[in-house]
């Protein structure tokens, strides 16, 4: 393989192929603590679509697996290394190629950071709406690969809803361009939607044409309401949604999460607070709408419900939500999950998670994009285990949570992807006929099976 790697080195500009063991080591892992990564053959740090094409041609010829990688923020093992693979890093393809305010779209390379695109749009009174919690470090390519959501998707939709077209390098090196620059268009199959959420198994996304939206004219108004129980808070969420208020953000944090944040930042939630609801409205009528949400929370048993009085207060309340995962991570090793249920079933799903935690004696801290019915139960366990090891009780509790979500008409993953850690449950959701269609599409686009093998299904 050394001679073969020389051919790849010769085909690419100097410095693109990295084989130094210490540098390669830094690319092996994503943020999925429960996955033990393999050992890559090398890293390719591509700067252009042509370089991705050369890499895929070489990999296809030699049947070498390729793992596309952006910021490495995957929580499902989707960007962790495979033995003998090429880690294809897209982070140096970081240019916003076009910004077209008149038509509300931008063209961005895969390595552009989510937050950087949003900031560039802000200069034109626009915004890029999808905003996963990792928005400051996650890339557009990674967001596309997993169809990432975020805090604002309750109002503005997920990444697929913001994607007009793609440039994709296929397994054999061909360059495919999908979609268009218009809002409407039905010519041909919807190949853009096929690649969004495909987790790097069908092609390598190199750039995207992305829809921008008008930025709210005034700062958003934020509501924070504390509750004596998570179930009561979930009922308040259901009532807010039933009132058709359409908040731009609607989040829930449970007691375990609040305790972790409190122990770290000393925010003083107190023993009586077992759930925190954070809602935001960015409409022209935000003050009135926030007051209605506050009243709904009070009617559903909120201990305290306050509306932000300034933009600074609003940011501080939102910062509490963004502290949740790093605060939980301080407690031990984590398995971060991502089930989604119909929004009316949110209280039932909350009860199920609490029962699973009790039955299997596993600590579960839950944060929810409650307005979407998307819950993130985080299973916490001993950090002293070998890399990739998960206690049987944790898997048993996770199995119970997954099956309950499916029984409620939900899904195994709302935004993180299947990756490595959910493959064993995927057929339960899709069914064998759907799995057969998935395999047929995969075989048609990647007959040698070199693109992110073992991920998804």
Is 185 a member of any domain? yes
Range(s) of the domain holding residue 68: 2-89
Tell me, yes or no, whether 22 and 128 share the same domain. no
- What's 33's domain CATH number? 3.30.43.10
Is 455 a member of any domain? no
Which CA distances in Å does 160 have to 94, 166, 173, 179, 358? 20, 11, 24, 12, 37
Give CA–CA dist 8/51, Å, rounded.
10
CA nearest 143: which of 195, 218, 99?
Answer: 195
Is 457 a member of any domain? no
Give CA–CA dist 98/75, Å, rounded.
30
Tell me, yes or no, whether 80 and 114 share the same domain. no
Which one of 46, 74, 89 terminates a domain? 89
- What's 390's domain CATH number? 3.30.70.2740
Looking at the 3D structure of the chain, how many domains does it have?
Answer: 4
Which CA distances in Å does 85 have to 183, 240, 363, 432? 38, 48, 35, 29
With H, G, I as helix, E, B as strand and everything else as coil, classify residue 13: coil
Residuewise pLDDT in 10s, the chain (457 residues)? 556 899 999 999 999 999 999 999 999 999 998 999 999 999 999 999 999 999 999 999 999 999 999 999 999 999 999 999 999 999 999 999 999 999 999 999 999 999 999 999 999 999 999 999 899 999 999 999 999 998 899 999 999 999 999 999 999 999 999 999 999 999 999 999 999 999 999 999 999 999 999 999 889 999 999 999 998 999 999 999 999 999 999 999 999 999 999 999 998 988 899 999 999 999 999 999 999 999 999 999 999 999 999 999 999 988 898 899 999 999 999 999 999 999 989 999 999 999 999 999 999 999 999 999 999 999 999 998 888 899 999 999 999 999 999 999 999 999 999 999 999 999 999 999 999 999 999 999 999 999 999 998 7
Tell me, yes or no, whether 251 and 154 share the same domain. no
Give CA–CA dist 308/322, Å, rounded.
17
With H, G, I as helix, E, B as strand and everything else as coil, classify residue 65: coil
Decide: 421 and 181 in contact? Cβ < 8 Å: no
Other beta carbons within 10 Å of 102: 6
Q: What angle do CA 383, 385, 387 make, to 5 degrees?
A: 95
Which one of 40, 58, 89 terminates a domain? 89
With H, G, I as helix, E, B as strand and everything else as coil, classify residue 180: coil
Tell me, yes or no, whether 81 and 146 share the same domain. no
- What's 103's domain CATH number? 3.30.465.10
CA nearest 157: which of 130, 126, 124?
Answer: 130
Q: Which tens digit of pLDDT belongs to each residue from 350-402?
A: 999 999 999 999 999 999 999 999 999 999 999 988 888 999 999 999 999 99
Beta strands in 138-203 (DSSP E): 163-169, 175-179
Tell me, yes or no, whether 229 and 293 share the same domain. yes
Give CA–CA dist 149/376, Å, rounded.
12
Structure tokens at 199: 């987790």
Tell me, yes or no, whether 252 and 287 share the same domain. yes
Tell me, yes or no, whether 47 and 100 share the same domain. no
Tell me, yes or no, whether 131 and 183 share the same domain. yes
Decide: 70 and 112 in contact? Cβ < 8 Å: no
Q: Which tens digit of pLDDT belongs to each residue from 295-314?
A: 999 999 999 999 999 999 99
Task: Render the burial of 327-337: b for 16+ CB within 10 Å, e for the rest.
Answer: bbbebebbbbb
CA nearest 90: which of 43, 158, 131?
Answer: 43
For all residues of the chain together, what is the average pLDDT? 95
Start-to-end C-alpha separation, the chain: 28
**Tally: H helices and E strands in the chain:** 16, 19
Tell me, yes or no, whether 69 and 177 share the same domain. no
**Half-sphere exposure in the Cβ direction for 172 (13 Å, CA):** 8
Burial class (CB in 10 A: 0-12, 13-18, 19+), 189: exposed
Tell me, yes or no, whether 197 and 227 share the same domain. no
Beta strands in 137-219 (DSSP E): 163-169, 175-179, 204-211, 213-214
Q: 436 - beta bridge partners? A: none
Q: 276 - beta bridge partners? A: 226, 253
Which one of 58, 89, 120 terminates a domain? 89
Query: What are the start-end ranges of the H helices in 221-367?
Result: 230-242, 255-265, 286-299, 311-322, 324-329, 346-360
Other beta carbons within 10 Å of 320: 20
CA 339 vs. chain centroid, Å, equals: 12
Tell me, yes or no, whether 205 and 226 share the same domain. no
With H, G, I as helix, E, B as strand and everything else as coil, classify residue 435: helix
Tell me, yes or no, whether 338 and 320 share the same domain. no
């Amino acid at each position: 393989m050394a001679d073969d790697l020389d051919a790849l080195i010769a085909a690419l500009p100097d410095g693109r192929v990295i084989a130094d063991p210490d540098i390669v080591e830094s690319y092996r892992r994503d943020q999925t603590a429960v996955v033990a990564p393999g050992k890559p053959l090398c890293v390719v740090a591509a700067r252009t679509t042509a370089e991705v094409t050369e890499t895929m041609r070489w990999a296809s010829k030699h049947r070498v697996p390729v793992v596309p990688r952006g910021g490495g923020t995957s929580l499902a093992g989707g960007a962790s290394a495979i033995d003998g693979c090429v880690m294809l890093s897209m982070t140096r393809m970081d240019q916003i190629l076009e910004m077209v305010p008149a038509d509300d779209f931008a063209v961005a390379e895969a390595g552009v950071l989510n937050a950087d695109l949003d900031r560039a749009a802000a200069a034109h009174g626009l915004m890029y709406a999808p905003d996963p919690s990792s928005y400051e470090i996650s890339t557009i390519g990674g967001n596309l690969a997993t169809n990432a959501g975020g805090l604002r998707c309750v109002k503005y939709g997920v990444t697929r809803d913001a994607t007009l077209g793609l440039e994709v390098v296929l397994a054999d090196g061909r360059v495919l361009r999908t979609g268009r620059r218009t809002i409407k268009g039905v010519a041909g199959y919807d190949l853009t939607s096929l690649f969004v959420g495909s987790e790097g198994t069908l092609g390598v996304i190199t750039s995207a044409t992305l829809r921008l939206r008008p930025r709210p004219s005034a700062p958003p108004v934020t509501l924070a309401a504390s509750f004596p129980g998570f179930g009561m808070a979930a009922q308040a969420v259901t009532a807010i949604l039933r009132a058709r208020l359409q908040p731009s953000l609607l989040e829930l944090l449970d007691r375990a999460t609040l305790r972790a944040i409190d122990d770290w930042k000393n925010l003083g939630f107190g023993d009586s607070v077992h759930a925190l609801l954070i809602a935001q409205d960015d409409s022209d009528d935000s003050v009135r709408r926030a007051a209605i949400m506050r009243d709904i929370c009070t009617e559903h048993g909120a201990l305290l419900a306050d509306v932000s009085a300034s933009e600074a207060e609003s940011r501080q309340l939102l910062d509490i939500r963004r502290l949740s995962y790093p605060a939980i991570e301080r407690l031990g090793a984590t398995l971060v999950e991502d089930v989604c249920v119909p929004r009316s079933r949110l209280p039932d799903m909350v009860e199920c998670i609490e029962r699973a935690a009790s039955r299997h004696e596993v600590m579960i801290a839950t944060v929810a994009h409650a307005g979407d019915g998307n819950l993130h139960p985080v299973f916490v366990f001993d950090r002293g285990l070998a890399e990739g090891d998960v206690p049987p009780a944790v898997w048993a509790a996770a199995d119970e949570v997954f099956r309950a979500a499916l029984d409620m008409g939900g899904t195994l993953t709302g935004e993180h992807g299947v990756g490595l850690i959910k493959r064993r449950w995927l057929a339960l959701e899709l069914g064998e006929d759907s799995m057969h269609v998935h395999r047929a599409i995969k075989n048609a686009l990647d007959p040698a099976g070199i693109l992110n093998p073992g991920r998804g299904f």
